[in-house]
Amino acid sequence: MLMKLAKQNIKLNQIILLLLLIILLLVGAVPGYLQKHWAWEKPLPVTTISQMRQVRKQGLELPGWQTKTSKEVSVSGDKWLSQEIQIDPQTTAILLLRPQKDDKDQPQVQWVDVKGFQRWQIDRDRLIQFTVPPKGENQPPTKVEAKFFRGWNRQQTFAVLQWYAWYPGGSPDPAKWFWLDQIAQWQGKRVPWVAVSIQIPIEPLGDIEPVLPQATSLGQAVQTALMSSSLQRKKN
């Protein structure tokens, strides 16, 4: 009897969730249908494209870190910003940034491109999470999911942290951005994105775990800098 009631409750909850989803879709889709506009057919403009271009040209200013070199590099035909940064004489990192370039640009194969560009072999890969403290008292912290792994070639080994940054949040999975952007367009907005690859040199085939706290701290600084500038969403 208890098992039967539990199954009925689960089924009822599923029906309620399905109805809520249908309502949300109708609320977003009906105005677009009436205006003969669908988000995937003709995307709304991204209002921060000019700021994105500045990021690709100038890089980011990160508290405590100094920029040693900054240059545009071509990765599989795409323009990235390669920024070598330093916090002390023994601690350096390479920051690769690939901002959204136009309204139709979507994250797709950036991680494959970076791997090929660096000629890496990869192992020890896993997903990690970090948070960025909120600016206001009543705002929740920003949660970011990133891929953490060891990448090496004949010349060097790196501890690598990669994700697509948006406002507010991020993930290495482009599908998560896609659905967030579709929902945002139903609300007259967009979700700008920047591909981020942080590369911290370590000893040849060394352990990446001791570097995780530093990589996470640097990831928080990068996410904060991007959300303060080029990732700020504005209503169209």
pLDDT value of residue 208: 98
Between residues 138 and 76, the one the model is more confident about: 76
Question: Is the separation of the CB atoms in 77 and 113 below 8 Å?
Answer: no
pLDDT at res. 85: 98
pLDDT band at residue 15 under the 50/70/90 scheme = low
Average pLDDT over residues 122-145: 91
**R_g of the chain, CA atoms, integer Å:** 21
| Mean pLDDT of all residues in 129-145 | 89
What span, in angstroms and rounded, lies between the C-alpha atoms of 125 and 161?
10
The pLDDT of residue 139: 82
Q: Which of these ranges, 41-55, 64-78, 182-196, 221-235, has the smallest mean pLDDT?
A: 221-235
* DSSP sequence for 99-125: E--STT----SHHHHHHHHHT-EEEEE
Mean of all residue pLDDT scores within the chain: 86
Percent of the chain predicted with pLDDT > 70: 81
**Mean of pLDDT values over 38-55:** 82
Instruction: Label residue 7 by pLDDT band (50, 70, 90).
Output: very low
Instruction: Report pLDDT digits (tens) over 168-187.
Output: 999 999 999 999 999 999 99
**pTM of the complete model:** 0.82
Give pLDDT, residue 234: 53
pLDDT band at 39 (very low <50, low <70, confident <90, very high): very low
pLDDT in tens, 121-132: 999 999 999 999
Sign (positive/negative) of CA torsion 226, 173, 24, 136? negative
Is pLDDT at 137 greater than 80 in this prediction? no
Helix (H, G, I), strand (E, B) or coil at 15: helix
pLDDT of residue 36: 42
Confidence category of residue 23, pLDDT binned at 50, 70, 90: low
* Angle at the Cα of 64 from the Cα atoms of 58 and 69, rounded to 5 degrees: 35
Say whether pLDDT at 75 is over 80: yes
Residue 37 is predicted with a pLDDT of: 46
Whether 17 shows a pLDDT value over 60: the answer reads: no
